[in-house]
Structure 1
């Protein structure tokens, strides 16, 4: 058995022998050290056996005639002393050791070694390889330099396709195929061999063999040998696939007191006898962790899995200690900054209610919602136990929110251009939490060729519900169009539930009121504006949208259906009171042909029943044309017109659009082209008419960013009027619809 690899028994035997040799050498070293200690003992002056000193051995005559003294030779006593072995005391450790004499290396005669005979039957493989190492194998060519061979019987290795796809993404040879010389390719081959062994273990083949064969990679081959003459081949003999044996999940069974064990054990879909796939362990650990978090266990912990491989049984025992640590319900939400965002307000944002079984997804959702307010720089939510589980009943945890406020004041601006609309620049200043919690004040202004505006807006986010917004807006504006110009003062109020970029909703709705006073005038047949007329208007607009699309700014599938109803009452100076309703329905559909092409279509129908057109203020009538309507025509230029060609507006409207959104490989797939065709008509009566339909066509360019596409459309009117331009240009953020 082994944990993370086996032990080499031959290496262990060699290590044991080395230890014994080391002990013998140590004993010998100790004896030699003891002998050396005795031999080097100091000689005392009173010792008669002490050796003579250097001064005693060299007489004074040697100093007067050194050469003569040297020619006399060594005294006989000294020669005898060299030949005689040293005397050792009887109780010395060296007394028991025989005298060892070793001849000088130059005096040793070594026997001659006969050269080995050349083995002429050795054959080197040629590339492409002709004789596979497997008796019955099938080749999978990865590249010109890399071949893998598997057993032909798919039952011996059924995961071949998945294995190959994974190996291609990890192979060092495949990654550096273009610039590999011989030395580098040889090193890459060794790395890929280790990679294959690790991958086979991941798939449960712990006794697998990988046979590496190379061509053109020996030391004698030139470093720049042609690529066609070199290659690497791996023959894979997978062997038996190991199965899971015993599975230990720690104290997971303690969740049975809350009735959750069967469901939690079912979430961990590994049983004894299943193939021992390491990827499956990771996947099922995540599933079990998710199930614990969604079943009321906020403090559950899972230790890293351990796999004990038993080669005798061809099984792998899995140990993954799970500690549930009790089941809990949600309590209240608390805040470390109650004066900024109170716990009560955060509880309104949360989708869970006190008493509901704890779910980690609800905790994460609350965190995302707090970040979506735009008021905080960071937020940390920690479950805190306030009541422990007792007698099989879940405990209670409060959600403790610790947040750091972010920048609250912002200045924003935008610039746009559209044919017929001209240039339009908008700027605003906003304090997003001037009236806590989430009460924002915004001052905005618009300066443009056709429009000027100054307004103040109060906005209360998450007001009595998640993503519900209360808005009060007061503004004064002037509009200058070919059909009319208007000077307006307005007060509006809206309560709505809308989609956001973080939380797109299937159903959005709004309701509110609108009170305005406006002075407006129309152009006559000669294009001259007549006298201004004052209108006092009150409206109660209601809107609903059903949205199944997959994105707010760049949908690729799904549909949207919207309806708007606005009953209104109007009083013109010198005229009678008029009541009417402004009705509008919109629909769009998105079909993804593939990941590069999306077909999108749109239709709109609108009507104003209840009052003659001339009794309705020009700004409340229906118009068509422009970037969000029929491209190729000027803004609000389609519809009934006077003899000078200026539009006068109508009481009915029809619009259609069809376009293909095509992604290109330019700039790393961030550029798209969009051919389109639009059509629309505006009628005098409340029933739509097809008497005169304006058609526009063109092509657009999309630059895709992380927050949505930037749109530039060029449209051409196919049946233009006398005042229509040759081409229309439209620039905006997001798709046209």
Structure 2
């Protein structure tokens, strides 16, 4: 025990007194008679107090401790500090009659031997601790894992039965994967993300019937899915991404209505490596416990009852009721259906917010609230145009599929917006309803439609450069103003210069003329064409009125009617090099066409069929003879999808009754061969030939084609391989005898783009005639048929 009088002197103002130092010396001397442990305790206390007193402001210490410290100093310690210290040591020895062997050895050691205080000295045995101490010099110690807890090679672990603690107030309990001791859990396991993630499900398939859909969604959203198998930071990424995926799995449980679902995350491994050392963890295991599936409780629909007679139909569109499984996807889809039906039933201002759920864990139910605000029913009023010079309100009314006074239908309004965009005259369209008469006494109100548009460039300058083995090289250019004669009246000037063709022409078109998707076309052109099959110089006038189909609005039915008048000087082809004189033909025609189309795509059909019939009554003056005849042609094609292959077939038949072939201009006769006919043969080179071996054309035609469009994985699935076989012929008679078949076969490539497939076909004739090329190459946009 230190001399407290000496400490009292040290607290007085001034420097450390000599008496204080001598008192401290007496303390050390008195402690020599005590045990080493007692000596160490006293010395440490004296040093601590001395250092603290020397470093603190003396005046402050005096004020704080004078009275209290004096009260703590016993009189016996002031008179004889050495004797007082020995007396205290003897008392402690009497209280502790026996010490441990280690403590006695320490007390008997000489004062100068401090080996027991060296940190790396051997430690005494501790009862009950049977783990070996780390060996000196090793950075870490390996603690063996009991075999029962080690991961198996297949990733399964022996699991003990675990009871899930129910939430407060719940009375149900469930055992999680209960198994008997020493047996393996019968589980269903799904390996994902290249082995990085393993979803382990209870053995009972009824635990979650939606498991496959659940896993597909997890695969699309998983963070582990993007982790490569050899990433340098795989361990850290496994932990971070695994935790993210665990939260994702818990959210997905709620999406499917499993609000008590639990996911336990653990690392897969470590597994022994080839050198016997443990490899890093290879993945994350998720033990899945869906729990009970919740069901829908009370369903409320806000103010939907204000729709009156429409309520039953609208409520049926929501299609969720008490007792149904609580599936958030279904609730979202049905809410969207209700909003869509409100728009189609005449409620342009209806508001259908996302459904809100109130979950009751005690009853395994969730109440659904869809706070619908119908906003009243309306009928169509007037249409206004923000750009009347580009597109007048009257023209917008012609385009629209509805009339004023009809009940509002959002589908018709969207159709109008798309139709205005399809004109190409505007870059953007926004159709907004505006109330002009509110609903009253149960009668619908009236809304005007304000059509806001932004202009698009209406002038186009285009050019083309191409080469075809049958038609030679060509360079073309055109200029067009698509609204030179509003509304939608366009003028196009075009010209072509080539080795086998020269052309100059002007075309006027009026779109949406006298009705939606109807077009009037007037074309005037002059051309000079020199082909292997014929040569013709002509001036022509043609006009047509037709119902169009296009990529935005593919029509099931189309039709056209027209008038053609042309004067031409023509002759049959001259492959022999002998030039015959040209004959003047004056021809008039009234072409008619009707077509049906049930395919799923205009440029790249995969299912359905198409059929069309062309009938063109014609009259010609040639060789001082007037002749009447008709050109009749029927086309049909069929498409069927078989897994990764689309099987396509085509049939074409034609006949030309009424006159001898010599009174029909060569450019209007039937020919076959080329990229859209019998591939492998040259353009228009299949058919009868004259005495000089020149293609003569014919009055009957028959063609058949079949091809398999095989989808591949190349270029993200955009590439198709297309083997094909074509066959057909042309005969001089009006009724074909089918005795002059020509066959062509080959392989094509299709590269599918957003605007249609780019086609490259390479074909060869299987039964060529003299002069036929051995290879034909065809490049175009869209399928061959």
TM-score (ref. length: structure 1) = 0.81
Task: Please state if 1:699 is matched with 2:708.
Answer: no
Q: Secondary structure at the residue paired with 2:357?
A: strand
CA pair 216-631 structure 1, distance change in 2 beyond 3 A: closer
**Alignment partner of 1:130 out of 153, 157, 164:** 157
Bigger RCO (CA 8 Å, 6+ sep)? 1
**Alignment partner of 1:254 out of 301, 306, 310:** 306
Q: How far is 1:552 from its partner?
A: 1.5
Question: Matches of 2:219 and 2:268 in 1, distance apart?
Answer: 21
Which residue in the other structure is 2:211 paired with?
160
Superposed, 1:538-549 pairs within 5 Å as 538-549=588-599
Which residue in the other structure is 2:244 paired with?
191
Task: State the Cα deviation string for residues 213-242 of structure 1 (Å, max 9, x = none).
Answer: 335479xxx9x9535x65433322322222
Which residue in the other structure is 1:611 paired with?
659
Count residues with an aligned counterpart: 638
Which residue in the other structure is 1:489 paired with?
539
Question: Matches of 1:117 and 1:410 in 2, distance apart?
Answer: 94
Which residue in the other structure is 2:190 paired with?
141
Superposed, 1:89-488 pairs within 5 Å as 124-127=149-152, 128-133=155-160, 134-135=177-178, 137-143=186-192, 144-176=195-227, 178-179=229-230, 181-216=234-269, 226=279, 230-256=282-308, 259-488=309-538
**Alignment partner of 2:710 out of 642, 648, 662:** 662
Task: State the Cα deviation string for residues 500-547 of structure 1 (Å, max 9, x = none).
Answer: 111111111000100111112235795422222222211111011111
Task: Please state if 1:713 is matched with 2:713.
Answer: no
**1:645·1:722 contact (CA, 8 Å) conserved in 2?**
no
Question: Matches of 1:710 and 1:462 in 2, distance apart?
Answer: 30
Question: Matches of 1:659 and 1:418 in 2, distance apart?
Answer: 23
Q: How far is 1:390 from its partner?
A: 1.4
Question: Matches of 2:60 and 2:528 in 1, distance apart?
Answer: 134
Task: State the Cα deviation string for residues 71-96 of structure 1 (Å, max 9, x = none).
Answer: 9xx999996885248xxxxxxxxxxx
Which residue in the other structure is 1:624 paired with?
672
Q: Secondary structure at the residue paired with 2:637?
A: strand
Structure with higher Rg: it is: 2
Q: Secondary structure at the residue paired with 1:503?
A: coil
CA pair 118-242 structure 1, distance change in 2 beyond 3 A: farther
CA pair 245-532 structure 1, distance change in 2 beyond 3 A: same
Superposed, 1:69-88 pairs within 5 Å as 83-84=66-67
**1:681·1:692 contact (CA, 8 Å) conserved in 2?**
yes
**1:637·1:646 contact (CA, 8 Å) conserved in 2?**
no
> Structure 2: which 5+ residue stretches go unaligned?
1-11, 22-56, 69-124, 132-144, 161-176, 180-185
Task: Please state if 1:601 is matched with 2:649.
Answer: yes
Q: Secondary structure at the residue paired with 2:540?
A: strand
**Alignment partner of 2:620 out of 570, 587, 596:** 570
Superposed, 1:458-537 pairs within 5 Å as 458-522=508-572, 527-537=577-587
Superposed, 1:685-696 pairs within 5 Å as 685-696=733-744
Across the aligned residues of Structure 1 and Structure 2, the Cα RMSD in angstroms comes to 3.1
Q: Secondary structure at the residue paired with 2:332?
A: helix
Task: State the Cα deviation string for residues 73-123 of structure 1 (Å, max 9, x = none).
Answer: x999996885248xxxxxxxxxxxxxxxxxxxxxxxxxxxx9997799986
> Structure 1: which 5+ residue stretches go unaligned?
1-56, 86-113
Question: Matches of 2:626 and 2:356 in 1, distance apart?
Answer: 82
**Alignment partner of 2:641 out of 592, 608, 629:** 592
Question: Matches of 1:77 and 1:304 in 2, distance apart?
Answer: 71
Question: Matches of 1:75 and 1:729 in 2, distance apart?
Answer: 109
Which residue in the other structure is 1:722 paired with?
770
Q: How far is 1:336 from its partner?
A: 0.8
CA pair 119-300 structure 1, distance change in 2 beyond 3 A: farther
Q: Secondary structure at the residue paired with 1:646?
A: coil
CA pair 217-199 structure 1, distance change in 2 beyond 3 A: farther
Q: Secondary structure at the residue paired with 1:292?
A: helix
CA pair 512-225 structure 1, distance change in 2 beyond 3 A: farther
123-132 or 263-272, which deviates more: 123-132
CA pair 119-195 structure 1, distance change in 2 beyond 3 A: farther
Question: Matches of 1:119 and 1:192 in 2, distance apart?
Answer: 40
Task: State the Cα deviation string for residues 632-688 of structure 1 (Å, max 9, x = none).
Answer: 111111111123321111111111111111222222222222211212211111111
**1:142·1:168 contact (CA, 8 Å) conserved in 2?**
no
CA pair 373-523 structure 1, distance change in 2 beyond 3 A: closer
CA pair 316-451 structure 1, distance change in 2 beyond 3 A: same
